[in-house]
Structure 1
Amino acid sequence: MDGIQNFQMLIDGAWVDAADNGWFDSTSPIDGKVWARIPEATAADVDRAVRAADRAFAQGPWASMTPSQRGQCLRRLGDLLAEHSETLGWAETRDTGKMLKETRWQARYIGEFFHFYAGAADKIAGEVLPIDKPDLMVFTNREPLGVVAAVVPWNSQLFLSAVKIGPALAAGNTIVLKVSEHASVPMLEFGRLIAEAGFPPGVVNIVTGHAEVGRALTSHPLVARISFTGGPGAARHIIRNSAENLAEVSLELGGKSPFIVFDDADLESAVNGSVAGIFGATGQSCVAGSRLILHANVADAFLEQMIGLARGIRIGDPMADDTQMGPLCTEGQLRHIEAQIALARQEGGRVLTGGQQPAGLGGTYFEPTIIDCPHPDLTILDTELFGPVLSVLRFNTEEEAIALANAGTHGLAAGIFTRDGARQMRMARAIRAGIVWINTYRVVSPIAAFGGVKGSGYGRESGFQAMFDYTRPKTIWVNTSSEPIANPFVMR
């Protein structure tokens, strides 16, 4: 047990163990060794965190702070993320196996999300209504909802937390964040920055544990809004849990995103975009471009380049600067991917490259894999793998491309590569997805909304519009007449 670190949860401004002293181990996918011990929260811990958040919302310094003062805390938090990006990146890489050069960059860039919402905090306004009744003035205020339950998965936790925490706090809410049991450490390290940024106790609380923790949180009677990112199975449980508190719910549930390449596309740019979309972050991204839809005229040339690049990807230690792809985060992902590739072979799919673990590395590493699919009915084409596996289909007409892109249950993102401007617009309108990238892929910004349709969930995160999702309008009627109410039995 040498070198194993013990971590604590953040509740009401204090670092605490679980009420019953329960723990679970965190195993690094880099070497398969236990490196951290995490509190296994109980329902009592969750209740304590939610009640602390509720008190902070209704009482104390947070409740009386102006929007500009809230913005100052958020701006300081953004600055601290940049200052501590090396520590945060190292913790995330150690816990998830993601590339260190990506995690430390992401920690720095996520600071921009908090800067964005710092600036937005005092920009939410109501309106005066041109009411149809004389002697009445009617206006609206937008007010925060209360306690927000934020539930995030292990991948890109800083980003997925920022798009929830940023607008929620800017609007005046408080937060209980349930982090993934697969990689809790990065968010606990993030929690150390909360008090330093000036947030009062109870405004941000972080709890750790497994499914029971999520159930206790999302069904808690004091929770006003639930923001969830994860899989559809857990999302259905959350919707059922919300029947207990009638909380507002938003869901981001991942995807099986189409990456469409027409025969007039810049082939080199499209190939590089596809590599980034499916092999970047070891394919462990909700917007991974895992369905490659190629025009028949360029399919062979495209795949020749793609296979060459895939075979040259350097797989290894994610802490090393020259590594291009690290391990999968969990053993479960590895087994799921292996099973789905075996099924794809049975259904007629042909593995063009990869399809197995690389020799000599062990652990949860997996080769960049490309599977040629003879028809659109293969199971793998509508199954999110969360790994470096690309399924390929061919098309001849624009109508075929649209039909293939819209097939299946997901609708988070899509990529379109074509030089034809009119076609770009037609395709962007026709594809059923919440995000469409044209001649680029896997780009995010605090200014742009993020979210899906169909089985990829509902609601939007990031962007200014998200501020409205964490507030509700209150309508205020003011009688300006000097005359008394004429008849109390007649509605005006």
Structure 2
Amino acid sequence: MSEVQNRSQIYVDGAWRDSAGTGRIEVLNPATEQVIAEVSAGDAADVQAAVAAARAAQPAWAALSGAERGDFLGRIAKEIEAEFADLTAVAVADVGMPVDVAGPIQVGVPLFQFSNFAQLAATLDEPPQEVGPSLVVEEPVGVVGAITPWNFPFFQVSLKVGAALAAGCTIVLKPSEVAPLLAYRLADVVDRIGLPAGVFNLVSGGPEVGAALSSHPDVDLLSFTGSTATGKKIAVAAAENTTRVALELGGKSATIVLDDADLQSAVADALGKCFLNSGQICIAQSRLLVPASKVAEVEALVQAIAPAFTPGDPTQSGVVTGPLVSQAQREKVLAHVERAVADGARVVVGGTPAPQETGFYVTPTVLTDVSPDSAIAQEEVFGPVLVILPYETDDDAVAIANNSAYGLSGGVWSADTDRALAVAKRLQTGMVNINSGQYNPAAPYGGYKASGYGREGGVEGLKEFLQTKTINYPAPAEG
């Protein structure tokens, strides 16, 4: 990807066309700081055209059987599989995730999602539920506006596009302007397989496009993944038109290591789940809760294990930590660390800019001597920063973990899985991993509290794009 790509068009009504907006947005490779693409800075007129195309196409798309819609999704999946290596290279250049993990995560999980939604679409052909003299029918919501983030730009797109199309909805996608290239590649695939015109539309751009989509009266559902602050603004804008909203927002998740846990395994897993994608992950488990009597032992383990996460060139095999996505993100993360140290936190590892001369790198950082109420323990950093928090009892650990505005993910480590499950059930969060448990792409996930509402993935993720109708027949005559 040494040459600058020109992706200055948008995809509307089954064709690439020039944007009404005349601006261009440069896309940088976060490891080299070089411009790798230019995309259109769309505007409200582009959104209007895309929504109109989606509205016109929706009745015919909904009229297809679920199996027919699933066939299109299956074709998308096959194209992704055929281009797996190339798409992985795009992910490495666009996001900075190291190649060894970018393939299975940035491309492999979206491949699974499109394949899974292809199968789930066919289940919508099953007869409706009968409740006495009534039929309970599930129908597509209609036109979906999707606004997706830069950290997992293909994965988040696949969750929204795959589910919406399976449900019989049409969609207008606004990918992040920071990392839009995989969304453009999806539009190429959609065009190549002959998806009916207007079913999928892509408008690139910045806040103007997002605002126009959020406030559009012909959008029936807004699905957004991103920061809590932006999610609140989208919800307010959508409320003017009583538009349904699904929000997957920020997190400040906690791993609780109980006193009987395998400490070395727990610490290694916690570092991995915090530092994945350089910490730029909403479900990052960025608070590590350990028994107060074992804090020193945990700190020693952190110092021994952390070198495995030394940042490096994301194109090289064996590297597990790449750069942050932008200079702005890098500065934000370093500012969080500096403030925490000024407030009394002690650095166990990291705490400084990475030594690379180019690229938006930050050395993965672990802090201790941190108050559970401090900014570094309460605010989402969205970078490779973990805080160690001591506790005295299981009840104390649960209280500290739940002491957060967020509730997206979490973890519990224990030699006794029943004990771990009992603690997991008390956590106010949408997903909990027990011991080395991992994210399951076939299962739903989503947030409690300020982490949002609605679910993505699996059957529940599909149902976000459906609405329920009850059809009542006359009750049978008695006798």
The TM-score range, normalised by the shorter chain, is over 0.9
* Aligned residue in 2 for 1:282: 278
Larger mean CA deviation between 86-95 and 306-315 belongs to: 306-315
Q: Is the 8 A contact 2:177 2:205 kept in 1?
A: yes
* Aligned residue in 2 for 1:24: 25
Percent of aligned positions with the same letter in both sequences?
Answer: 36
CA deviation map 1:435-492 (0-9, x unaligned): 01000254232x211101011111111111222221112222344889xxxxxxxxxx
Query: Aligned with 1:371: secondary structure?
Result: strand
What is the 5 A alignment of 1:60-99? Answer: 62-99=61-98
Query: Aligned with 1:475: secondary structure?
Result: strand
Structure 1 position 424, deviation (Å): 1.3
Q: Quick check: which has more Rg, 1 or 2?
A: 1
Q: Return the letter of the residue paired with 1:450.
A: Y
* Aligned residue in 2 for 1:104: 103
Query: Aligned with 1:341: secondary structure?
Result: helix
* Aligned residue in 2 for 1:178: 174
What is the 5 A alignment of 1:165-244? Answer: 165-244=161-240
* Cα distance change on mapping 1:312 and 1:112 into 2, 3 Å: closer
* Aligned residue in 2 for 1:129: 131
* Cα distance change on mapping 1:201 and 1:439 into 2, 3 Å: same
* Aligned residue in 2 for 1:3: 3
Query: Which consecutive residues of structure 1, in runs of 5 or more, have no partner in the other structure?
Result: 132-137, 483-492
Structure 1 position 302, deviation (Å): 2.4
Q: Return the letter of the residue paired with 2:455.
A: R
CA RMSD of aligned residues (A): 1.7
- Is 1:384 the counterpart of 2:380? The answer is yes
Q: Is the 8 A contact 2:286 2:386 kept in 1?
A: yes
Counterpart CA distance in 1 for 2:236 and 2:57 is: 27
The structure 1 segments of at least 4 consecutive aligned residues displaced by more than 6 Å after TM superposition are none
- Is 1:255 the counterpart of 2:257? The answer is no
What is the 5 A alignment of 1:84-483? Answer: 84-106=83-105, 107-124=107-124, 125=126, 126-131=128-133, 138-445=134-441, 447-479=442-474
* Aligned residue in 2 for 1:14: 15
* Aligned residue in 2 for 1:486: none
* Cα distance change on mapping 1:197 and 1:444 into 2, 3 Å: farther
Aligned residue pair count = 472
Q: Is the 8 A contact 2:21 2:40 kept in 1?
A: no
Counterpart CA distance in 1 for 2:21 and 2:464 is: 36
Structure 1 position 412, deviation (Å): 0.3
* Aligned residue in 1 for 2:44: 43
Structure 1 position 224, deviation (Å): 0.4
Q: Return the letter of the residue paired with 2:43.
A: T
Q: Return the letter of the residue paired with 2:471.
A: I
CA deviation map 1:308-336 (0-9, x unaligned): 22134332211111222110001111111
Structure 1 position 286, deviation (Å): 0.5
Query: Aligned with 2:216: secondary structure?
Result: coil
Q: Is the 8 A contact 1:88 1:190 kept in 2?
A: no
Q: TM-score, normalised by structure 1?
A: 0.92
Query: Which consecutive residues of structure 2, in runs of 5 or more, have no partner in the other structure?
Result: none
Counterpart CA distance in 1 for 2:21 and 2:250 is: 34
Counterpart CA distance in 2 for 1:369 and 1:441 is: 23
Counterpart CA distance in 2 for 1:315 and 1:178 is: 31
Structure 1 position 84, deviation (Å): 1.1
Counterpart CA distance in 2 for 1:156 and 1:313 is: 20
Q: Is the 8 A contact 2:310 2:363 kept in 1?
A: no
Structure 1 position 63, deviation (Å): 4.0
Q: Is the 8 A contact 1:311 1:368 kept in 2?
A: no
Q: Return the letter of the residue paired with 1:29.
A: P
Q: Is the 8 A contact 1:149 1:227 kept in 2?
A: yes
Counterpart CA distance in 2 for 1:313 and 1:480 is: 66
Counterpart CA distance in 2 for 1:144 and 1:281 is: 34
Q: Is the 8 A contact 2:405 2:449 kept in 1?
A: yes
Q: Is the 8 A contact 1:258 1:289 kept in 2?
A: yes
Q: Return the letter of the residue paired with 1:324.
A: V
Q: Is the 8 A contact 1:271 1:302 kept in 2?
A: yes
Q: TM-score, normalised by structure 2?
A: 0.95
Q: Is the 8 A contact 2:101 2:320 kept in 1?
A: no
Q: Is the 8 A contact 1:85 1:105 kept in 2?
A: no
Q: Is the 8 A contact 2:417 2:434 kept in 1?
A: no
